[in-house]
Amino acid sequence: MAKWYCAGCDEEMETEWDYEPKYCCNGYMCACQAKPINPIFCDKCVEQMKGAVSDG
């Protein structure tokens, strides 16, 4: 278990596995904006995304 922040709503959440954020670079002049390239989302945001997909 590890604690991290949801990439969707910034809520602190617990991950079931040892999540290690991977970064592309420091974000300078890059679209990654120094955010992890493997973002994680809380259950709420996952449900929202699922809903958005099934709506489409």
Binding site for Zn ion (CB under 5 A): 6, 8-9, 24-25, 30, 32, 42, 45
Nearer of residues 20 and 37 to Zn ion, judged by Cβ: 37
- By C-beta, is 8 or 36 nearer to Zn ion? 8
Containing 12, the helix (H) or strand (E) segment is strand 12-15
Q: Return the number of the residue (6 or 39) whose C-beta is nearest Zn ion.
A: 6
* Contact by Cβ (8 Å): 3, 11: no
Smallest separation, CB 15 to Zn ion (Å): 12
Select from 37, 11, 16, 36 the least CA-distant residue to 2. 16
